[in-house]
Amino acid sequence: MRKPLVAGNWKMNKTVEQARELASDLLPGLQDVSAVERVICPPFTALLPICAMLKGTDIGLGAQNLHWETSGAYTGEVSPAMVKEFCQYVILGHSERRTYFGEIDETVNKKVKAALEIGLTPIVCIGETLAEFEAGRTAEVLTRQVLLGLADLTADQGGRIVIAYEPVWAIGTGKAASGIGANDVVAKVIRPALSSLFGEDVSSSIRGLYGGSVTGENAAEFFGQPEIDGALVGGASLKVLNFLEIVKAAAK
């Protein structure tokens, strides 16, 4: 059984004070839904105060990135150990990082390894662009992202990741994929690629999330699919009622 997981990616939103306010509005509702692994991913600056607020709860905290080196002259970067001080999870390979900050599969791979080595759970994002989708290249692109992004992991390490299928054309656009379409991609492309790396047993144990314009209204369509084990949520994770609706839908 794969426990459902819903993670909220706050992206570059919320000062410390605003983040505290959002977290305190979310906390009571989130605490009611223990059947779902719930994770919030505020910006780096808010990790310390939110970590303190989550103490004694079973709500997870995630960062949105890290650097693979342990320390040194990497101005502006944050190391795995620095993230581990506060977090249990880290989002890696998000399409916004690939698009705006030059991340490629090889750097995602270094980050995934570094996160696993320090004991963080990486939520590894993969997804095709609109042009790739329209050119019928979805399977090719996703297979490459899985094989290169997760290259050289042991099967044990592979079993500790979470994969998020996030079609780039669906992120922040209000145009979500269909539940059936996303399920098909996970079943026919992503799990076979995971199997080729880690074997079928490990592949079938890895949580497969969907991300891309998930809301309280459409969440059930995704969570009703056998291969979709939760969601990575951007915009709607900043709206208390909407995010709680998504989490509750995952519990059903």
Please identify every residue annotated as catalytic: 94, 166
Query: Cβ contacts of residue 17 below 8 Å, gap of 6+?
Result: none
3-state secondary structure of 184: helix
Q: Which of 11, 2, 9, 66 is nearest to 37 (CA)?
A: 2
Stretch that binds ligand PEP, among 180-188, 191-199, 216-224, 228-236 (CB under 6 A): 228-236
Q: Which sign does the torsion angle of CA 198, 98, 222, 35 carry?
A: positive
Is residue 138 involved in binding ligand PEP (CB under 6 A)?
no
**Rounded to whole angstroms, how far apart are CA atoms 213 and 165?**
12
The reply on whether position 119 binds ligand PEP by CB under 6 A is: no
Stretch that binds ligand PEP, among 110-118, 147-155, 206-214, 240-248 (CB under 6 A): 206-214
225: tokens are: 């699919």
Phi, psi for 7 (deg, rounded to 5): -120, 135
Residue 214 binds ligand PEP, judged by CB under 6 A? yes
Among 182, 232, 247, 249, binds ligand PEP (CB under 6 A): 232
Q: Does 230 sit near ligand PEP (CB under 6 A)?
A: no
Select the residue interacting with ligand PEP from 41, 235, 244, 246 (CB under 6 A). Answer: 235
Closest distance between ligand PEP and the C-beta of residue 69, in Å?
A: 25
Tokens 């042991």 -> residue: 154
* Stretch of 21-29, 49-57, 128-136, 226-234 lying at the interface with ligand PEP (CB under 6 A): 226-234
Between residue 142 and residue 181, which ones bind ligand PEP under the rule CB under 6 A?
166, 171-172
Euclidean distance between CA atoms 221 and 213, whole angstroms: 12
- Could you give phi then psi for residue 251, rounded to 5 degrees? -80, -20
CB of 42: closest distance to ligand PEP in angstroms? 13
Q: How far is the CB of 191 from ligand PEP (least distance, A)?
A: 20
Between 202 and 250, CB nearer to ligand PEP:
250
φ and ψ at residue 129, rounded to 5 degrees: -80, 170
Residue from 152, 155, 164, 150 nearest 209 by CA: 164
Q: Is residue 213 close enough to count as binding ligand PEP by CB under 6 A?
A: yes
Where along the sequence are the contacts to ligand PEP (CB under 6 A)? Answer: 9, 166, 171-172, 211-214, 232-236
